[in-house]
Amino acid sequence: MSCDRRRSNGYRAKLEAAIEQSLSNGYRAKLEQKWLHHCEAKKTRIISIDGGGTTDIVAEAALIHLEDQIRAKTGDSHSRIADFFDIIAGTGIGALFAAMLTADDGDGRSLFTAREIVKFVTEKQSKPFNICWIIAP
């Protein structure tokens, strides 16, 4: 279906109405309902992780420190970075970190901790973007 046909059929208007209805009905992501109820802030929380060269060492250390601090402040030893951010993005190796931080375990929880991600990336450091190990590690 072309974009023109979608517009003429009111596709965009229907989509916008559905989104608005979902938002007005109090829709919230499963993670937010379950794990962010204690947060008072109504602002969007964004984390951006740079990558490339030796900066991945800094990003790795920062992610581990951030997750440790989140756990210490909340008193929840199972807290994950993804539980506290609405948007997680990155460039280069930071994009891999972001993808792993947001990978779902099937129950609405983040699959990997920051330490597990760092361990994985460190083990695969020699060829992080080699397609062979991504498809079949």
Give the pLDDT band (50/70/90) at residue 7. Answer: very low
pLDDT attached to residue 93 = 86
* β partners of residue 46: 87
CA distances from 75 to 68, 72, 105 (A): 10, 5, 22
- pLDDT tens-digit profile of 14-66? 656 665 655 554 444 544 555 555 666 567 888 999 876 665 788 888 899 99
Is the Cβ–Cβ distance between 84 and 45 less than 8 Å? yes
How far apart (Å, rounded) are the C-alpha atoms in residues 38 and 25? Answer: 20
pLDDT attached to residue 3 = 45
Is the Cβ–Cβ distance between 113 and 82 less than 8 Å? no
* 3-state secondary structure (DSSP) of residue 46: strand
- pLDDT tens-digit profile of 78-131? 889 998 888 899 988 888 899 999 998 888 888 999 999 999 888 876 555 555
> Which tokens is 10 given?
């009111």
pLDDT attached to residue 123 = 81
